[in-house]
Structure 1
């Protein structure tokens, strides 16, 4: 027999309001949330209630408390936390296959739907990526690589795809770092330029084929490296 649902406790209500601030983007990832006195006034709750709500969101993986500094947003949603944890438990090949699926469809849609402004921004982002590679800044290469792919996914104008990809971007960073450091002297840069040019030219088939090429190269790198996670 189904039981009557219970009302949310005050702590749960406060946690839900704070979660909505995060999911709406008002509290962005990396941002320090307002101090306790400010939140107590804004939410009209006691210090103990507020702290319990914060503890619940820390446990959920949305917030992180730094002793003596404050509390920071570390994920944009509970879904993001779940996906990131799941990816961290997966081997590199499975993670790469998921990346392939998302980026292949993202490139296909981006080539069909990108705006002129998005096309210009992708070219600029590609140049930032190439400059980082030219000066040997591998950390910069990884950062710009992730931003480039997020830009491509954003140009797909598919909100669910964008949300999924952004949630796993952080979890992909270690894998991208490992592969990019190895491929710095290959035609990896050229392949990405060809991908962006295909999207700019609105050639969806060429964009998909290019994604397949760099994912195949990445798989080959994992085989050569004998990745310990495989």
Structure 2
């Protein structure tokens, strides 16, 4: 008989979740001061050290701000640390769809705004990727593959898109290795990458966006159509 795993969560983690929930439901609003420590101890029925640690964690992530001599204030409704955790635990197909959305729009903007130095960086990354695609050094291949994709995003010259993609890129590195190791998933070819580069070079916005989408479309379609598990390993 298989014994189910019981997840034991610390009082600190439970308190953190309770604070997040109060902020998410706007019981505690952005820019408002949350109750004092003694009130939180009473509210959550935990010790002072537990409350202090929960506030420290959420202050570090930027959800709360401790103002010495004044109080603790809500800085934002969403906890960036929680967002990253959920991102890392999302299904492989969800990850690929998000990558497709970001990179297709980045390619569109890159075709509009790329500079000569952007094109040089793209071509160098593309050429190095092609070299390592013919060998056995998977880590080097992944490194130059990521360099090519990051060069596309940087060529968009959209700071918000660059920041969002940078936030996402740590998960993308692990994702790329996962997809390459899965023989059931078709890897994007050199021709797929070349099509994106050539569309950006030509300044063709629609062709660039389409080529970026088509690069990932076979993997997304295969995952949706097959019985292979889509959840990433935890």
- TM-score range for the pair, normalised by the shorter chain length: 0.5 to 0.7
Distance 1:228 1:106, change over 3 A: closer
Deviation at 1:82, TM superposition (A): 4.1
**Unpaired runs of 5+ in structure 2?**
1-28, 35-51, 63-77
Distance 1:122 1:185, change over 3 A: same
Correspondence 1:1-230 to 2 at 5 A: 5=33, 56=56, 60=60, 81-182=81-182, 188-223=189-224, 224=226, 226-229=228-231
RMSD (CA atoms): 3.4
**Unpaired runs of 5+ in structure 1?**
7-51, 63-77
Deviations 1:133-166 (A, max 9, x none): 1222112111211121111001101101000001
| 8 Å CA contact retained: 2:129, 2:144 | yes
Tell me the TM-score normalized by structure 2.
0.61
* Distance (Å, rounded) in 1 between the aligned partners of 2:187 and 2:101: 23
Aligned position for 2:26: none
Deviation at 1:83, TM superposition (A): 3.7
Paired residues in the alignment total 168
| 8 Å CA contact retained: 1:84, 1:170 | no
Distance 1:99 1:157, change over 3 A: same
| 8 Å CA contact retained: 2:180, 2:187 | no
